[in-house]
Chains A and B, each alone.
Chain A
Amino acid sequence: MDQLDNDRDDAWAVEQTLNGDREAFAVLVRRYQGPVYRLMLRFSRDESDAAEMAQDAFVRAYERLAAYDSRRRFFTWLYTLALNLARDHARRLKRAPQCRQNLDTTHADKGRDPLGSLEAARLLNVLRGLPPKYGEALALRYIEDMHLEEVAETLGLSVSGAKMRVHRGLRMMREHFGEEG
């Protein structure tokens, strides 16, 4: 489905939901559960935390659906809402005492590696450590495979601004891996 079809489909699902058909909202959940979950992974300590936060984001989106302006792309609105939740959560995490986890070790110990490889786990960890304005630009561009225009629209930037953030984010990641040798 191309972007325009996707947008129309989203608008239809929103309208149906607001007309009382809750199941229409499931269309939106299934379509965007991946990006929202992956966003929450970047702001949480583990997958179950991220999954719960992702659920919270969709529940909140449902509750606030009447306030969604259909002139905006649905994912942009959903992403903004989810990002605000994620940042609130991250701020609370900072204040709460934590057991510092070594993500690589944790996955290896549990005998499973849901991220597919330890390198992927390291990449995610480094991404988590970037300032969100760069981390999110990188994530939308490469993890969610968005065009720069879509990255710009989602983050509320100009295209050149989005491009700059992606380039700087890549450079920061490269420097991090360079430091590790």
Chain B
Amino acid sequence: MNNEHQNNTAQARLASGLRGLGGMDPGADFASCVMERIGSAAPLPLPKRRSERVLDWLARPRTVRVSPLAGLAAAACLLLSMGLLLKHDFGVGSQAPKGLVPVTFVLAAPSAREVAVIGSFNDWNAVGWTMTRDPSRGLWTLSSALPSGSHEYVFLIDGTTPVADVTAALNVDDGFGGRNSVLLVKSDHDSIL
């Protein structure tokens, strides 16, 4: 009991000491320094419609923070049950450029009208990264070749809705409340999944 009392006292003192650190402040001219730096930057874009803001958000670079896999849109939920994984093959039979590893993206989204892959490898720009639909299986596929390393990506459904890849072994917080999927590409032509 005595020990517990001592511990509580010690912790209370620590808590009090920590509270004392709350007085530290960068000073009265901090805000003006920030505003000066902002003042020399380009003006912010005007507020956009939500769909345009989503696209804008998608185009920005991400910071990565690993967090547990969160819930995903229903359009992407079938792949696990269908036993399909992100796989590596040469797609339509053409050789991958030297130094790049062939990859194939697959998404089950039968009700989508258009799907693209956007990620760190294409600057989050869907142009030229539209997936091909296989109506018989309700699947969308895209084959490409990427350098070895870690790549973040999402599927962009109908030009507006980002969806993470439910089959990805790793999904990360994009810092804005969404999730990016991560593809780890090994240079010996195998991916880590």
Q: Are A17 and B34 in contact, CB atoms less than 8 angstroms apart?
A: no
Q: How many residues of B contact A (CB 8 A)?
A: 41
Q: Do A17 and B44 form a contact, CB below 8 Å, given A23-B35, A120-B17, A145-B19?
A: yes
Provide the bound-state CA to CA distance between A19 and B47, in Å: 7
Q: Are B47 and A18 in contact, CB atoms less than 8 angstroms apart?
A: yes
A61 → B minimal CB distance (Å)? 10
Q: Are B45 and A29 in contact, CB atoms less than 8 angstroms apart?
A: no
Q: Does B98 contact A (CB under 8 A)?
A: no
Of all chain B residues, the one with the shortest Cβ separation from A55 is B34
Binds B, one of A1-9, A98-106, A135-143: A135-143
Q: Does A46 contact B (CB under 8 A)?
A: no
Q: Are B33 and A55 in contact, CB atoms less than 8 angstroms apart?
A: yes
**Considering residues B25, B27, B48, B60, which has the most beta carbons from chain A within 10 angstroms of its beta carbon?**
B25
Q: For chain A residues 65-104, which have a beta carbon within 8 Å of chain B?
A: 65-69, 72, 77, 80-81, 84-85, 88
Provide the bound-state CA to CA distance between A88 and B177, in Å: 19
Binds A, one of B7-15, B108-116, B131-139: B7-15
Q: Are A81 and B22 in contact, CB atoms less than 8 angstroms apart?
A: no
A172 → B minimal CB distance (Å)? 10
Q: Does A170 contact B (CB under 8 A)?
A: yes
Q: Does A134 contact B (CB under 8 A)?
A: no
Q: For chain B residues 10-56, which have a beta carbon within 8 Å of chain A?
A: 10-11, 14-15, 17-27, 30-31, 33-35, 37-39, 41, 43-48, 53, 56
Per-position 1/0 for A17-34, Cβ under 8 A of B: 111101101100110011
Q: Are A22 and B39 in contact, CB atoms less than 8 angstroms apart?
A: yes
Q: Are A143 and B21 in contact, CB atoms less than 8 angstroms apart?
A: yes
Q: Does A62 contact B (CB under 8 A)?
A: yes
Q: Which residues of A contact B23 (CB under 8 A)?
A: 116
Q: How many residues of A contact B (CB 8 A)?
A: 60
Of all chain B residues, the one with the shortest Cβ separation from A121 is B21
Q: Are A120 and B34 in contact, CB atoms less than 8 angstroms apart?
A: no
A30 → B minimal CB distance (Å)? 5
Q: Which residues of B contact A170 (CB under 8 A)?
A: 11, 14-15
Provide the bound-state CA to CA distance between A62 and B175, in Å: 15
Q: Does A115 contact B (CB under 8 A)?
A: yes
Q: Are B24 and A62 in contact, CB atoms less than 8 angstroms apart?
A: no
Contact partner of A84 (CB less than 8 A), chosen from B21, B37, B65, is: B65
Provide the bound-state CA to CA distance between A38 and B26, in Å: 8
20 sample A-B contacts, Cβ–Cβ < 8 Å, listed by A number: A18-B44, A18-B47, A19-B46, A22-B35, A29-B34, A30-B31, A33-B31, A34-B25, A38-B21, A41-B24, A47-B26, A50-B26, A55-B30, A59-B34, A64-B60, A84-B63, A123-B14, A124-B21, A143-B18, A143-B21
**Nearest 7 pairs of A and B residues by beta carbon:** A142-B18, A37-B26, A84-B63, A67-B57, A29-B31, A58-B34, A51-B26
